[in-house]
Structure 1
């Protein structure tokens, strides 16, 4: 199966699994706490199971790495899954949680899907394939100057506590700023509505599927040093509409 076929399959799988997520949304649900103190629900687990079953059906034997059930298999090619990116949003009835599915080769993302089931928006992209929103091509804004940028600051509470000097610079940067979290701000950069995202404390299943969509839309997504993201990158990321804007972000956070 070539990359285009894999991307089509990935979109089909997350669209089908949307029903699992939405069957629990805005309904009473038990919450458990993981060792890192992040919340997890039956919706997270059931959604990842549904995605894994579909992947195993269509790609038997290929490795899968998911947030809830870890890695199965050991291969050059691997699917990476975040069943609910934004469990806190999900728990509070906020419709800005997403479902992330990516395909990784030699540690680098080849394709990704950002599915926003409550918004009925599906962003998808892959290396050499371009990016789409519900099948319609999308592209980044082309913003090249931080002074003009519409900037999202993700995980602002953590940034303020752990990197106060960086946070103090970010909170006055750009032409417009929003505090946010999770995958949706990155999707907004890919579709040209926002220009940049500074993110913090992520895992590979958080950033690899997203990076594939952003890059396919013509943007850049790197670590804070401007290096391309791999499965071994740290959890600090920058997303920008253009290389010029990325360079300014790298200078700002460092």
Structure 2
């Protein structure tokens, strides 16, 4: 049984519902868009979705903290913090590709304990919670067995997210893996949890990019770690490994080192 109260699971679902309702009217339509300081895009849909989620949290959980990609932190030192990425994969959203997702996480004592990946166009929703099996649209999903790096189907969002040094490290894994899928953002982690990918390795992630993914991957039988093999927390550096088969973690860490 999940250690997350049903009320938290219900609230997380309603946050994802509100984000999806805000996003869908903009999909494959004309909308305002601008570039952030790091040249990544932000759209009306990103902001509308996060505002909708924050409004619910302000009304129902005013004592909890909130960290969101678009509107920053509010009480980030609280014991319980909701971590929101309204559209993870904004470039895919802008291009009309339905492989982006809304990420909702609950972090307690700096550890992610609840996560949702919601794809609001395909209506696919992964839910993971500490102590519970991960589900996709209500049905349990599991990762697949793959103990050898040479047999692993690897994925990453793109080379532009790596530094020169971390790209060189990633290349050592890529040339050892069976094949590599490019693009996908959070959607790759849902595919890994459902047994379609074996390994995802990324650099440069922020807390709102990975917090929701940890309970989903681990509740499906996988493992998520940093590049040194450490547990992911609020203070992790954004270098992330997700392995469907936990036996792949050591091989990936060794290759990255």
Q: 1:11 — aligned with what?
A: 13
Q: 2:208 — aligned with what?
A: 205
Q: Which moved more, 1:81-90 or 1:35-44?
A: 35-44
Post-superposition offset of 1:80: 0.4
CA contact (8 A) 1:17 1:47 kept: yes
* SS, match of residue 187 in structure 1: helix
Q: Distance in 1 between matches of 2:13 and 2:66?
A: 16
CA RMSD of superposed structures (Å): 1.7
* SS, match of residue 163 in structure 1: helix
CA contact (8 A) 1:7 1:125 kept: no
CA contact (8 A) 1:13 1:51 kept: yes
Post-superposition offset of 1:23: 0.7
Q: Distance in 2 between matches of 1:14 and 1:152?
A: 25
1:33 and 2:39 equivalent? no
Q: Work out which of the residue numbers 127, 131, 137 in structure 2 matches 1:134.
A: 137
Q: Distance in 2 between matches of 1:29 and 1:215?
A: 36
Q: Distance in 2 between matches of 1:240 and 1:210?
A: 12
Q: How many residues align?
A: 254
Q: Distance in 1 between matches of 2:201 and 2:157?
A: 6
Change (3 A) 1:173 1:8: farther
1:71 and 2:34 equivalent? no
CA contact (8 A) 2:4 2:113 kept: no
* SS, match of residue 100 in structure 1: strand
Q: Work out which of the residue numbers 210, 215, 218 in structure 1 matches 2:218.
A: 215
Q: Following TM superposition, where does structure 1 have runs of at least 4 consecutive aligned residues deviating by more than 6 angstroms?
A: none
Q: 1:190 — aligned with what?
A: 193
Residue deviations 1:101-140, cap 9 Å, x none? 0000111101100001122100001100210000101111
Q: 2:243 — aligned with what?
A: 240
Change (3 A) 1:248 1:37: same
Post-superposition offset of 1:169: 2.1
- Structure 2 residue ranges without an equivalent (≥5): none
- Structure 1 residue ranges without an equivalent (≥5): none
Q: Distance in 2 between matches of 1:59 and 1:242?
A: 36
Residue deviations 1:87-111, cap 9 Å, x none? 1111111111100000001111011
Q: Which moved more, 1:138-147 or 1:150-159?
A: 150-159
Q: Distance in 2 between matches of 1:143 and 1:5?
A: 36
Q: 1:23 — aligned with what?
A: 25
Change (3 A) 1:164 1:196: closer
Give the structure-1-normalised TM-score: 0.94
